[in-house]
Amino acid sequence: MKTAFYLGAATAALIAGGAQADQITVAGPWLSPEQEVVREIFDVFEERTGHEVSYVGSDSFEQQIVVDAEAGAAPNLAVFPQPGLAADLASRGFLTPLKPDMSAWVKDNYAAGQSWVDLGSFADKNGDSQHYGMFFRVDLKSLVWYSPENFEDAGYEIPESMEDLKALTEQMVADGVTPWCIGLGSGAATGWPATDWVEDLMLRTQSPADYDAWVANDMKFNDPKVIEAIEEFGWFIQDANVAGGTGAVATTDFRDSPKGLFSSPPQCMMHRQASFIPAFFPEGTEVGVDADFFYFPSYADKDLGNPVLGAGTLFAITNESDAAHELIAFLQEPIAHEIWMSKGGFLTPHKGVDTSKFVDDTSRKMNEILLGATTFRFDGSDLMPGGVGAGSFWTGMVDYTGGKSAEEVTTEIQNSWDALK
């Protein structure tokens, strides 16, 4: 059964003008089942325009796209799971800027639109900033998970601000229950959940500009602003605040840590983690009934809006053609987003989508948080050099939970960054 569609302005103009059908190649990281959903989206585009789209997904996309670009054999478009790789290719002249009106369109049509322009803009080989990337499919990290039954039994209410969340944490301790479950264990990647905490807290204690400067190391890692965010994380992992005490944080596997929400009696009342974490809830747990979530709130006494931390994929043109630009234009239309929304596993900052098309209330509620964001920032550790973001930052946070000071840990991380230069 074919997907129903309407003609958007760009594709209608294409047909009216009698433009020639073309072959479009797209490469990205999506494999089955995502690949099948992408195929449905491209089917609609093909039916509208007469173009043919060939998508190739790979679990080694990040390596292959560099090889293909250097060989002069890049696909027309590539789907980048991280802005850093796209930025590198842009600086080497391997990406084509999007149409001049794209920045204005994103600002007008995406929630926190300037954030998405910033995240998709990179320096070209001359050092000039250009808008190269259109984000399509976003992941949300700024969430706190809880058991509605546990909250109802105890008479707790969802906090509206960070001050309220801290007060609730203290109230729980006073009531004799443990507020938080936190686990940093992840095999060779142990420590990454703490970097997410710090990134979320940087966005809530400092400006977006400060966050960007920190991620780029224009602000040193041992700057007092970074130390403040890490010490805010330290407040949450005090012995009384976390299941098992501070000493258990680094040794608890992140996949096991949310299970304390569902034990009897509960080992904890809250768990901060991204939208993927229900995959590790006990079998049979129903989100919206047995578990729910709320926005990891911002401070009421700081003028920083409602920032959201997350990740996402972006489309960029790696081998320019008119048809490649037409496919980007199609991705601006709500239907391109709504097809995937109806399948699940998809969030979008596009303000023009019909949110009734979401596959379930959980996805719709998560997307409301995304649409309510005043600032969106990408996972900072993913944008840092691998030796820092996936190295010394991880181990440094483990050391911090083990008792090292924030000053000592951040200085060691900065030294590791300096050693890469």
pLDDT tens-digit map of 3-15: 333 344 444 544 4
Residues 250 and 320 in one domain: no
- Residue 137 counted as domain residue: no
Between CA 99 and CA 14 the distance in angstroms is: 16
| pLDDT tens, position by position, 101-119 | 999 999 999 999 999 999 9
Provide the domain count of the chain.
Answer: 2
**Which residues share a beta bridge with 270?**
146, 180
Tell me the three state secondary structure of residue 15.
helix
Nearest Cα to Cα of residue 211 among 223, 101, 63:
223
Determine the pLDDT at residue 82. Answer: 83
Residue that finishes a domain, picked among 334, 354, 373: 373
Are 396 and 262 part of one and the same domain?
yes
- Dist CA 354 CA 6 (whole Å): 14
Task: Output the pLDDT for position 96.
Answer: 98
Report the C-alpha gap between 237 and 235 in whole angstroms.
6
CA 110 to chain centre: 15
Residue 339 has pLDDT above 80, yes or no: yes
Mean pLDDT of 280-284: 96
Kindly report the average pLDDT of the chain as a whole number. Answer: 94
Rg (CA), the chain: 22
Both 185 and 92 in a single domain? no
Q: Is residue 183 part of a domain?
A: yes
267 in a domain, yes or no? yes
For residue 309, what is the enclosing H or E element? Answer: strand 307-317
Residue 85 Cα distances to 70, 88, 313, 393, angstroms: 14, 5, 11, 20
Q: For residues 252 and 193, state if they share a domain.
A: yes
Residues 6+ apart with CB under 8 A from 247: 402
Looking at the domain assignment, is residue 138 inside a domain? no
In a domain, 79, yes or no: yes
419 CB burial (10 A radius; 0-12, 13-18, 19+):
exposed
Whether the CB-CB separation of 103 and 117 falls below 8 Å is answered with: yes
Of 356, 373, 390, the domain-final residue: 373
- Regarding whether 294 and 171 lie in a shared domain, the answer is yes
- Average pLDDT estimate for 135-147: 97
Q: Both 235 and 115 in a single domain?
A: no
Query: pLDDT tens-digit profile of 365-417?
Result: 999 999 999 999 999 998 999 999 999 999 999 999 999 999 999 999 999 99
Contacts of 9 (CB under 8 A, 6+ apart): none
Helices assigned H by DSSP within 120-241: 148-154, 162-174, 192-205, 208-215, 224-236
Does one domain contain both 293 and 316? no
- Residue 1 within a domain: no
Q: Which of these ranges, 3-7, 191-195, 203-207, 278-282, has the smallest mean pLDDT?
A: 3-7
| Domain-embedded: residue 2 | no
Q: How far apart are CA 399 and CA 132, in angstroms?
A: 38
Alpha helices by DSSP H, listed for 271-405, are: 322-331, 334-341, 361-371, 380-383, 386-387, 393-401
Rounded Cα distance between 174 and 177, Å, is 8
Are 15 and 159 in a shared domain?
no
How much of the chain, in percent, has pLDDT values that exceed 70? 95
Residue 51 lies in a domain: yes
pLDDT digits (tens, 9 = 90+) for 286-318: 999 999 999 999 999 999 999 999 999 999 999
In which domain, by residue range, is 401 found?
Answer: 143-306+380-420
Q: What is the CATH number of the domain that holds 108?
A: 3.40.190.10
Judge if 319 and 262 occupy the same domain.
no
| Phi-psi map region of 41: left, alpha, beta (phi>0 left; psi -120 to 50 alpha) | alpha
pLDDT of the residue at 19: 56
Residue of 319, 328, 336, 350 lying closest to 98 (CA atoms): 328
Residues 230 and 350 in one domain: no
Instruction: Note the pLDDT of residue 9.
Output: 47
Contact predicate 375/203, CB 8 Å? yes
Please write the tens of the pLDDT for every residue from 221-230: 999 999 999 9
Mean pLDDT of 340-368: 97
pTM of the model: 0.91
With a cut of 50, say whether residue 351 has pLDDT above it: yes
Phi, psi for 131 (deg, rounded to 5): -90, 110
- Based on the domain organization, do 313 and 340 belong to the same domain? yes
Q: Judge if 169 and 289 occupy the same domain.
A: yes
